[in-house]
Amino acid sequence: MLGFLQGLAYGLFVTCLPWFLIGMASPRLALAELDPNRLQVIVRYWLLVPFVAFVIWLTSLWGGFGPSLAGWLAGLVAIAVELPVERRARNWWQRWRARRQARRQAAEDSRQRAERQREAQERGVMSLDPEHPPADADEVVRALCAAKGELLALSREDVAVQADRLYSRYRHVESVLAARFERTELAYQRAHGLVNEVCLGAVDNLTRMAAQARSVAGVDGDFVRRRLDRERQTLSVAERLALKRRLELVADTERHLRDLSARNEAALTALDDTAVALARVETQRPQASVAAERALGDLRRFAEGAARYSRSQ
């Protein structure tokens, strides 16, 4: 065994220089790292491997045996065998870390999504997923999903939230309407049609907002302002006018977006008014046979004279 270790140490000493030269020419051939460099080659084949071979050689000296041929051959092929094994181990480790990171990210995304949905429910706003509309989605809900998807694709989350608010109001009004009228009643059909028209009009506004935002998607207003401030002295008159015109286009577009947003706010207010008005409509027959005020008065009078019904000893 000690002779094998001596031969292994000598074999490692001999192969350090060839592998060092190979690594200096192409680090990927001599290292198992994903992004190797020549400094790592120097550390491994000029310091680490010679140190390991030196330790093995010192360990085997006290036995008094000479190096064996098997140890010598093992030392010559040790690095060539170790590199593929190390590469596979590193690849497996990277894949395992990537899967663990993906699971953690998926869990974190799920937690944040659930948190956002819970906060939205607490605020009375239900969130729409454009890629996965609700199973019972009708024409209005599908249109809202499509409009929200267009706005999110343009990174206009500030405007896309109106689709969620419209969806929440629409669902609320529909639930109140279904609780007050039968679906076969003319009043239900009339109110349902008007609510749909209002919501579809708001969807048209969202679609116009997406088209407006898409028209200036390639204009970076912040960059234009920084360039005007930083290069004011070096810009020509034509360039300065062109940059200012870009800012005017962005400002006009944002103003138009605010106008369309205000129209949607008016639609939201109309839906709220409708829900409140429908909630006040009494369409069911009262359960009590007498008025509530009369029954309350009779009950009080009965309580006051209840002592008359007690039996004396």
Cα→Cα distances 157→60, 162, 207, Å: 70, 9, 14
Q: Please state, in angstroms and rounded to a whole number, the distance separating the CA atoms of residues 258 and 264.
A: 10
Span 291-307, pLDDT tens digits: 666 767 766 776 666 56
Output the average pLDDT for the chain.
79
Q: Long-range contacts for 75-83 (Cβ within 8 Å, ≥24 apart)?
A: 75/7, 75/8, 75/9, 75/10, 75/11, 75/12, 75/13, 75/14, 75/15, 76/11, 76/14, 76/15, 77/11, 78/8, 78/11, 78/12, 78/15, 79/12, 79/15, 79/19, 79/49, 83/30, 83/31, 83/32
The pLDDT of residue 313: 43
Q: Please state, in angstroms and rounded to a whole number, the distance separating the CA atoms of residues 112 and 227.
A: 38
Span 123-155, pLDDT tens digits: 556 777 788 887 778 888 888 888 888 888 888
Task: Count the neighbouring beta carbons within 10 Å of the beta carbon of residue 1.
Answer: 10
**H or E, element range at 224:** helix 221-230
Q: Please state, in angstroms and rounded to a whole number, the distance separating the CA atoms of residues 82 and 275.
A: 74
The pLDDT of residue 251: 81
Query: What percent of the chain has pLDDT above 90?
Result: 0
Span 174-184, pLDDT tens digits: 888 888 888 88
Q: Please state, in angstroms and rounded to a whole number, the distance separating the CA atoms of residues 226 and 218.
A: 16
**H or E, element range at 297:** helix 292-304
Return the exposure string of 120-131: e unless at least 16 CB atoms fall within 10 Å of the residue's CB, then b.
beeeebbbbebe
Q: Please state, in angstroms and rounded to a whole number, the distance separating the CA atoms of residues 131 and 148.
A: 10
| Residues 198 and 182: beta-carbon distance below 8 Å | no
Q: Is 125 helix (H, G, I), strand (E, B) or coil?
A: coil
DSSP classification of residue 138: -
DSSP classification of residue 306: G
Q: Is 202 helix (H, G, I), strand (E, B) or coil?
A: helix
Name the token pair of 92: 């497996």
Flag whether pLDDT at 235 surpasses 70. Answer: no
Q: Please state, in angstroms and rounded to a whole number, the distance separating the CA atoms of residues 58 and 283.
A: 100
Phi, psi for residue 33 in degrees, rounded to 5: -65, 155
Which of 58-62, 113-117, 167-171, 231-235 has the lowest average pLDDT? 231-235
Interval 234-239 mean pLDDT: 71
Flag whether pLDDT at 312 surpasses 60. Answer: no
Query: What percent of the chain has pLDDT above 70?
Result: 81
Span 251-281, pLDDT tens digits: 888 888 889 889 888 888 888 888 888 887 7
| Residues 145 and 127: beta-carbon distance below 8 Å | no
Per-domain boundaries in the chain: 2-113, 125-279
**H or E, element range at 248:** helix 237-279
Flag whether pLDDT at 213 surpasses 80. Answer: yes
| Residues 129 and 142: beta-carbon distance below 8 Å | no
The pLDDT of residue 86: 84
Flag whether pLDDT at 60 surpasses 80. Answer: no
